[in-house]
């Protein structure tokens, strides 16, 4: 049986897809890169933005046409959109299976049933705040996941936490991913050792609020700093990253201290601010002020002076005035992020902002603010990137660059530094047979020129 799996959204979804792929391969399925050649199509969906959901709907329209000539095709919608919409998705005639993120361990069984019994099936937790009965099965899937099928060789995501308890007013995640729960440290360590034995060199710990990781065992409470220390001792793991951090004092110093003291922990922090206006932060239910946020960045830079920091922002949140936006611009200038992910607000059904706040910032104002903030960030990124010129940086090589072109017989490769900067450089001559072997290995690159988001250089 051939499976086509398409993933939308964040790293958490990528990890879920990797685990599903690993379990289906173990069950004998093959993976193909086109829905037309598949017996089973899995769409792992994202609900964070309306645009992501619309793309899935359009794919389902295309799949309906494929099914007209291939009636045995099984189509499953999995992930956050499945959890949010449940059996409503069956209104799309192509859909056979709807499966939420907490039930992914059920997918092999659901596919078999859909094929043999030709029945539509929905697997979503009725009460997302309750721990799913499949939690143990999912935990086993996670531990056994080999890491072989990630798009980046020698790197693997490891989930440290499920769900989120923050309920930021604009965000759908707590409704679709359920309550915040930290995985036991021993399960994470067992999984990480297995990954390292399989050749994984970079581990990225995942959690919606990864710095809130907390696991009580007897009279000991483990926080993220403890986890970083324990994983650092595993042979084979060379770089250790974690995303996404939430601006909060709790454990913050301990975590940054661990970054300073543990050489394997990459000096990179992705810590979304979302706005620089205290009034908007309050309406977003973020629980901190812009001054408190900047204090956290100061603390991080005092302890780890060369830390690379990335941010996220939403522009055009309900009620955002020119003055609120000016405060966001001001915060971005003070924070000096290496890069920022900037989004225009769009209401998500069921969230507090959707129910209680009017989406009253005009689309063209959202566009203008988005553009303006990107320009401000671009200038900061340009200046920070330029500081690398003449330096030699260590990168984990991911493979050929997307825009790869042959410079003579030198293929262009892409790699990422510990601080998450992207480096593009010419690989060794193809005739030397080195290029495939460089993917998944560390390399030193001497930087010769830079753009705001990319460092360009030569192998050193």
Is 175 near ligand SF4 (CB under 6 A)? no
Binding string, 298-327, against ligand SF4, x = CB under 6 A? ------------------------------
- When asked if residue 281 is in the footprint of ligand SF4 (CB under 6 A), the reply is no
CA–CA separation, 94 and 97 (whole Å): 10
176 binds ligand SF4 (CB under 6 A): no
Min dist CB 164 to ligand SF4, Å, is 3
User: Which of 84, 162, 209, 344 is close enough to bind ligand SF4 by CB under 6 A?
Assistant: 209
Min. distance of Cβ 281 from ligand SF4 in angstroms?
A: 12
| Interaction of residue 212 with ligand SF4, rule CB under 6 A | no
CB 345, min distance to ligand SF4, A:
13
Radius of gyration of the chain (CA): 23
Size of the site for ligand SF4 (CB under 6 A): 10
Which residues inside 241-260 make contact with ligand SF4, applying CB under 6 A? 246
- Residue choice 59, 166, 366, 416 for contact with ligand SF4 (CB under 6 A): 166
**84 near ligand SF4 (CB under 6 A):** no
CB of 340 to ligand SF4, least distance (A): 15
Residue 174 interacting with ligand SF4 (CB under 6 A): yes
Query: Interface with ligand SF4 includes 85 (CB under 6 A)?
Result: no
Q: Which residues 20-49 are close enough to bind ligand SF4 by CB under 6 A?
A: none
Residue 204: both structure tokens together = 């990225």
Residue 275 Cβ vs ligand SF4, minimum distance, rounded to whole Å: 12
Among 73, 152, 173, 447, binds ligand SF4 (CB under 6 A): 173
| Positive/negative CA dihedral, 451, 389, 340, 362 | negative
Select 168 or 269, whichever has its Cβ closest to ligand SF4.
168
Chain residues binding ligand SF4 by CB under 6 A are 164, 166-168, 171, 173-174, 208-209, 246
């Amino acid at each position: 049986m051939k499976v086509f799996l398409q993933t939308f959204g964040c790293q958490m979804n990528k990890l879920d897809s990797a685990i599903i792929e690993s379990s289906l391969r173990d069950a004998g399925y093959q993976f193909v890169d086109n829905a037309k050649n598949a017996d089973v199509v899995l769409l792992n969906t994202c609900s964070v933005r309306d645009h992501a959901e619309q793309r899935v709907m359009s794919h389902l329209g295309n799949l309906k046409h494929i099914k007209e000539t291939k009636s045995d095709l099984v189509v499953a919608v999995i992930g956050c959109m499945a959890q949010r919409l449940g059996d409503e998705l069956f209104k799309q005639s192509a859909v056979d299976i709807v499966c939420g993120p907490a039930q992914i361990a059920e997918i092999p069984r659901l596919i078999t049933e859909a094929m043999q019994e030709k029945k539509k099936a929905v697997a979503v937790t009725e009460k997302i705040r309750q721990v799913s009965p499949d939690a143990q099965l999912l935990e086993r899937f996670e531990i056994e996941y080999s890491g072989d099928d990630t798009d980046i060789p020698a790197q693997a995501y490891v989930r440290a936490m499920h769900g989120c308890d923050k309920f930021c007013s604009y965000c759908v995640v707590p409704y679709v991913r359920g309550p915040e729960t930290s995985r036991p440290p021993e399960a994470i360590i067992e999984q990480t050792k297995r990954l390292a034995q399989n050749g994984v060199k970079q581990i990225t710990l995942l959690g919606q609020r990864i710095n809130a990781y907390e696991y009580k065992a007897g009279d000991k409470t483990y926080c993220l700093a403890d986890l970083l220390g324990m994983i650092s001792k595993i042979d084979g793991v060379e770089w250790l990253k974690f995303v996404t951090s939430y601006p909060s004092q709790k454990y913050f110093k301990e975590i940054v201290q661990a970054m300073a003291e543990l050489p394997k922990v990459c000096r990179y922090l992705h810590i979304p601010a979302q706005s620089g206006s205290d009034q908007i932060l309050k309406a977003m239910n973020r629980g901190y002020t812009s001054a408190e946020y900047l204090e956290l960045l100061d603390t991080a830079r005092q302890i780890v002076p060369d830390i690379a920091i990335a941010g996220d922002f939403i522009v055009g949140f309900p009620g955002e005035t020119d003055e609120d936006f000016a405060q966001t611009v001001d915060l971005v200038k003070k924070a000096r992020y290496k890069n920022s992910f900037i989004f225009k607000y769009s209401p998500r059904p069921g969230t507090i902002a959707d129910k209680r706040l009017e989406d009253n910032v005009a689309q063209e104002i959202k566009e203008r603010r988005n553009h303006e903030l990107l320009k401000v960030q671009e200038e900061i990124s340009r200046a920070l990137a330029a500081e690398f010129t003449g330096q030699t940086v260590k990168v984990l090589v991911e493979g050929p660059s997307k825009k790869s072109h042959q410079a003579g017989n030198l293929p262009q490769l892409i790699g990422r530094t510990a601080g998450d900067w992207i480096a593009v450089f010419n690989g060794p001559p193809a005739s030397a047979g080195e290029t495939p072997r460089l993917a998944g290995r560390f390399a030193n690159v001497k930087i010769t020129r830079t753009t705001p988001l990319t460092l360009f250089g030569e192998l050193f």
